[in-house]
Structure 1
Amino acid sequence: MAVVVMQQASAETPAAVSGALGAAGLGVRRVPLGKGATAPLALGDVEGLILLDAPGPADTGTAALVRAALAAQVPVLALDGGAELLAGSVARPTATETLDGCPEPTPAAVTDPLFTGDEPPPTAFRVGGSAWGVRSTGEAGRRQDTGYDQKIEQLLFRFAELAASRAEHTTTRTFFTQRADAWEERFAYQAPAYAAAVTRMRLRPGTTAMDLGCGTGRAMPALRELVGPHGRVVGVDVTPAMLSAAAGHGRTEHGHLLAADCTRLPVPRGSVQGIFSAGLLDHLPDPRTALTEWARVAARDCVLLLFHPSGRAERAARHGRPLDPADLLAEHNLRPALAATGWRLDEYEDASGHFLARAGLAD
């Protein structure tokens, strides 16, 4: 894992930056700014950005990278000249914005995770929930604030810890943000398979159904059909760009879209009668934590349907590898995983054209 540090080509990376990142187990990927330097245009496996300087007026690649990071909610810390770059990037949003548009900079608060109760510097600001800037106070301001350097060093350590804790989500968001606009068209042919799978849930009208890891919300129309006009459908995804694409394809006509972590759902206990999840569970770093959380929000009569429009053997062959006996979705692994987290496996199908597992809460 690495955090990109952007600064003038002639400058050395401050020891405080390298030390904070190293303490959190993060590497440093230095991107020089200045004449002849070109910033990367893709985030790749970046876990965060630290902006120490502003680029020249002809450097459009750096601003594009920052806007892409904001869209994907990659953690960003911008100091001094870098703070001006961050604020300027917000003023020029791209097509891949968050669901509610590109957020405006707001003053940093003691409730921000980077300050954890400490009073932030008066020049500190926040952009959305993943980017922070501290504008330069100038030499006179630094002389007046004798603890300024120590505060910045503490800020760097907190940012490094935050970037490391969010690394898994950051990787997911950067991957899917780049693909969100084309996702629906690319997989439109799978819509009938999704609809057929949803009908297997056999939900009653008036109930609540969730599509976890909903992407562009392909299951939401079928879920709405099941629960009827008086039921409730919620599509949940951790990538705002996918939810924005879902809204663009009219999924808000079928239900609500919610940006959330599927292992920490902002949903009351026992309030959901149907949980649909396609191609998500076996890609999570801790699937048992997710299943336990899903059991928490499930009503006593809840149905959990795990689905994929391809069978396990078909997917393995497509990637040129044999079936993995350790695969979570293999029945001999999935059944005990469900049982250990409060579920009972009722139906299991690993066919050539689809994978489907239907479960209910254990008695």
Structure 2
Amino acid sequence: MMLVLLVLVMLLTVTTYFYMKRPQFGALPEGKRWESIQKSPHFKEGRFRNLVEMPVIAEGYSMPGEIFKTLFKKFPNREPVDSLPSVKTDLRNAPRDSDMIVWFGHSSFFLQLDGVRFLVDPVFSGKASPLPGGVKAYKGSDVYTAADMPDIDYMLLSHDHYDHLDFETAVALKDRVKFVICGLGAGAHYEKWGYRPEQIIEKDWYDQQEIKPGFTIFTESTHHDSGRGFTRGQSLWLSFYIRSPRGSVYYSGDGGYDGRFQEIFRKHGAPDWAIMECGQYNEAWHSVHELPEEVAKATEELHAGNLLTVHHSKFTLANHPWNEPLEKISAYSQNKPYRLVTPMIGEPVRLHDHAQQFEQWWKKIQ
């Protein structure tokens, strides 16, 4: 029996080793990239660190307990039965002077601002896991493909988790993207996948990238993690503040609530738009994923004019009902100084049209 177990463990180890050599797992930084990482004040003791270290699992919970609940406890309505509604917008022929956001479900979105085209955390492969039988997109949520995208000036990456950095999508877009802006270390993935070094711009927190006069991308902190294999924290996770003569947009990336939103407001002023993570959360791990009430609080602290929530309505990565993020943020946003917008997947959000109306489309879906 012991010999059989030993053989099984060895087979599993060898299989795992070779499976993780597949290109979708990306690459760890090395050489000059590794040397540059080690100079960052946020890289300590062999990995990137959050500004204030907090346990991923909150007091009163345990990782084995949460895994047990997920595997053996029944959680209702974790994914929709119906197909989600969507709008198919012709982005390839959209006029460059139309300032808009088009959300593709979860955290993927297209932003066109002052003639510059951004694509953020694009995932068009229909999955959020490299494993066979892993997390798949909801019916109706995956209507856009890489082929639907226009030429992109800047592809922004918040962090390298699979639900934000998709191998198939990145490879399909590499000849149509001028530049990628990502955290220190994450460029190793893109380079492994065929991107030219001159396409890749890696940033630390509190860096900036000038697009043109008066148009700047600022890379800000968030409280999260990174990693596509067993080694964690080898690339940096980011949020982005985009300021142009025609308006400003803040994208939170993934991350738990902390005091950074007040600081971002003090540094950059109130964004016209806040695009905030709101979904795939749990009280047990709210240190790395904000709860809806924390999203509302953070948006107020940013003094944002408008709120668009992301990180929901495409993949089930937590145990809450699939539509709960939209239900809760709608309730928490009542009588707030910001405007909440709730577009369907693919529905253009016109940045300067404050009278544009949106349905509570999720209420019609089972």
Q: TM-score, normalised by structure 1?
A: 0.33
Which has the greater radius of gyration?
1
Higher helix share: 1
Higher RCO structure (Cα 8 Å, ≥6 apart): 2
TM-score (ref. length: structure 2): 0.33
